[in-house]
Amino acid sequence: MTATELVIALTKGRILRETLPLFESAGIRPLEDIEKSRKLLFDTNVDGVKLLLMRGSDVPTYVRFGSADIGVAGKDLILENGSDGFYEPLDLKIATCKMMTAEPVDAPVAVDRLRVATKFTNIAKRFYAERGQQIELIKLNGALELAPSLGLADAIVDIVDTGKTLKANGLVAKDTIADISSRVIVNKASMKIKNAMILDVLAKLRDAVTSVEA
């Protein structure tokens, strides 16, 4: 990566399908079909601007260490892992959902030491600490909704979209911890070295987001 090259890390999957139209509105589009290619690094119609495709959980790491100048990452990942090494200048307002607690519909009123299952352990730890609630954290990477019904946990902390999965597993959403959406993040060193290029991209993306909202 050179001082005149800008690498933008994008998240694979559903978020990509919402992200690409915004970048196209901002005048940046890949020269080939990203979703059909096995490549990970793509040239664009803008000289020196490349798109890097990866798992969402890796985007903040690539931006933090400067392997990518700009990235699109979920707010959940930023809250969980921190924002050291990068700025968060823009909310793209896509892939919106909520980080929430959820409990069984018939949960007891109070538990002295709550067992909480989640993959967002840092978020959960901070949330319950602020409430003065003692918890025992149980780290899970999937099937969180099953944990209460199988006696593994009293509550869960997870991303909630429609709430249908919670309902199907006898759970009800309780407290909203944070509103989640995809954010643009920028490496701090890149912002200094490639300031004009990055500010131009940010301004065009901001206009694209505004036009969608209008």
Indicate which CATH number applies to the domain containing 89. Answer: 3.40.190.10
- Domain check: are 128 and 86 in the same one? no
Q: Is the pLDDT of residue 193 over 70?
A: yes
The pLDDT assigned to 112 comes to 79
Q: Answer yes or no: do 128 and 196 share one domain.
A: no
Domain encompassing residue 89: 6-95+181-213
Q: Judge whether residue 1 has pLDDT over 70.
A: no
Both 124 and 173 in a single domain?
yes
Q: For residue range 53-105, list pLDDT tens digits in order.
A: 999 999 999 999 999 999 999 999 999 999 999 999 999 999 999 999 999 99
Q: What is the mean pLDDT of the chain?
A: 94
Do residues 62 and 117 both lie within one domain? no
Q: Is 212 helix (H, G, I), strand (E, B) or coil?
A: helix
Are residues 28 and 83 both part of a single domain? Answer: yes
Number of independent structural domains in the chain: 2
Q: What's residue 44's pLDDT?
A: 97
Domain-embedded: residue 110? yes
**Do the domain assignments include residue 77?**
yes
Q: How confident is the model over 170-195, as a mean pLDDT? A: 97
Report the pLDDT value the prediction gives residue 213, as an integer from 0 to 100. Answer: 79
Give CB contacts under 8 A, 24+ apart, made by 200-205. Answer: 201/6, 201/8, 201/26, 201/28, 201/49, 201/70, 202/89, 202/90, 204/25, 204/26, 204/27, 204/28, 205/22, 205/23, 205/26, 205/90, 205/92
Give pLDDT, residue 4: 79
**Residue 107: its pLDDT value, please?**
76
Judge if 117 and 161 occupy the same domain.
yes
- 57 with 129, same domain: the answer is no
Q: Confirm whether 1 is domain-assigned.
A: no
Report the candidate in 214, 211, 206 with the shortest Cα–Cα distance to residue 91. Answer: 206
* Higher per-residue confidence, 53 vs 36: 53
Q: Is the dihedral of CA 35, 37, 38, 44 positive or negative?
A: negative
Token pair for 66: 């400067």
Whole-number pLDDT of residue 9? 98
* pLDDT exceeds cutoff 90 at 177: yes
Q: Note the pLDDT of residue 102.
A: 96
166/209 same-domain check: no
Examine the domain organization and report whether 39 and 141 are in the same domain.
no
Same domain, 85 and 11: yes
Establish if 165 belongs to a structural domain: yes
Sign (positive/negative) of CA torsion 61, 65, 71, 77?
positive
Task: Please report which confidence band the pLDDT of residue 35 belongs to, taking 50, 70 and 90 as the band edges.
Answer: confident
pLDDT-based confidence at residue 181 (cuts at 50, 70, 90)? very high
Please work out, in degrees rounded to the nearest 5, the angle formed at the alpha carbon of residue 180 by the alpha carbons of 104 and 105: 10
State the Cα–Cα distance between residues 19 and 181, nearest whole angstrom: 12
Tell me phi and psi for residue 212, to 5 degrees: -70, -40
